[in-house]
Amino acid sequence: GAGVSQTPSNKVTEKGKYVELRCDPISGHTALYWYRQSLGQGPEFLIYFQGTGAADDSGLPNDRFFAVRPEGSVSTLKIQRTERGDSAVYLCASSLRAGGLNEQFFGPGTRLTVL
Amino acid sequence: GQQLNQSPQSMFIQEGEDVSMNCTSSSIFNTWLWYKQDPGEGPVLLIALYKAGELTSNGRLTAQFGITRKDSFLNISASIPSDVGIYFCAGQTYNNNDMRFGAGTRLTVKP
């Protein structure tokens, strides 16, 4: 079946602009995760959803970052007033359920470049 | 927060050689995982370890969950060109559903 998909694959924007990044999880997966990966680093946790609710948003760096999952499937990561330091690959992952025994499947990521 | 130290940062080896990389943490994890990431792709799970002392193999890959629960290693035997990529360790605790990743080991295999 289809894996996790993310759109767009690349996004170039100017400092101060607003961006939305979309994630389509694997069908039937109730848990969805967002990570940010800077160049030369491992993924860094941002937020995870169980169903429609954000169960843990402790990784969001500041209030410019926000994510929603209104129907418990597709999720959108929203970044306001983008800064050059926001440039990174944003990865989405989904798992059947939350919890350490449930494998997280990653999408290919969205590469965000803020000029 | 929990810090994972992964080493080496990069490795250049000949095809057929064995490879070893490891990860240490300042905190205890309940699950250790090893991922491989190819360019332009997300990480793909290679091996998951759930118990201290556990030794698990997946083909040419072998990983162990350290007794202290603060470390793990990954071995790759008889490397082949398609082993090229970046390998990440990751740790998870029972209380957290997020994973903490190491900075990765970049593997280059020369034919």
By the CB < 8 Å criterion, does B99 face chain A? yes
By the CB < 8 Å criterion, does B48 face chain A? yes
Q: Are B25 and B35 in contact (CB under 8 A)?
A: no
Mind telling me how many Å the CA of A83 is from chain B's nearest CA? 23
Of A31, A93, A100, the CB nearest to B94: A100
At B12-52, the pLDDT tens digits run 999 999 999 999 999 899 999 999 999 999 999 999 999 99
Please, what is the average pLDDT of chain A? 94
The percentage of chain B sitting over the pLDDT mark of 90, rounded to a whole number, equals: 87
- Of the listed ranges A47-56, A71-80, A81-90, B35-44, the least confidently predicted one is A47-56
Residue of B nearest to A109 (CA): B42
- Of the listed ranges A79-88, A91-100, B59-68, the least confidently predicted one is A91-100
pLDDT at B96 over 80: no
Output the DSSP codes for A86-109. Answer: G-EEEEEEEESSSSTTS--EE---
Name the band, by pLDDT with cuts 50, 70 and 90, for residue A1: low
Name the band, by pLDDT with cuts 50, 70 and 90, for residue B99: confident
Which chain A residues are closer than 8 Å to B96 by Cβ? 56
Angle at A100 between CA A27 and CA A8, to 5 degrees: 40
pLDDT at B52: 94
pLDDT at B21: 97
Q: How many CB pairs below 8 A link A and B?
A: 64
Angle at B110 between CA B104 and CA B111, to 5 degrees: 140
Per-residue tokens: B14:
């000949």
pLDDT at B95 over 80: no
pLDDT at A102: 82
Under an 8 Å CB criterion, which residues of A touch B?
4, 31, 33, 40-45, 48, 50, 55-56, 58-59, 91, 93, 98-101, 103-109
By the CB < 8 Å criterion, does B52 face chain A? no
Cβ of B102 and A40 within 8 Å? Answer: no
Report the pLDDT averaged over residues A92-115.
91
pLDDT at A5 over 80: yes
Cβ of A48 and B98 within 8 Å? Answer: yes
Amino acid identity of residue A63, one-letter, is D
At A9-65, the pLDDT tens digits run 999 999 999 999 999 999 999 999 999 999 999 999 999 999 999 888 999 999 999
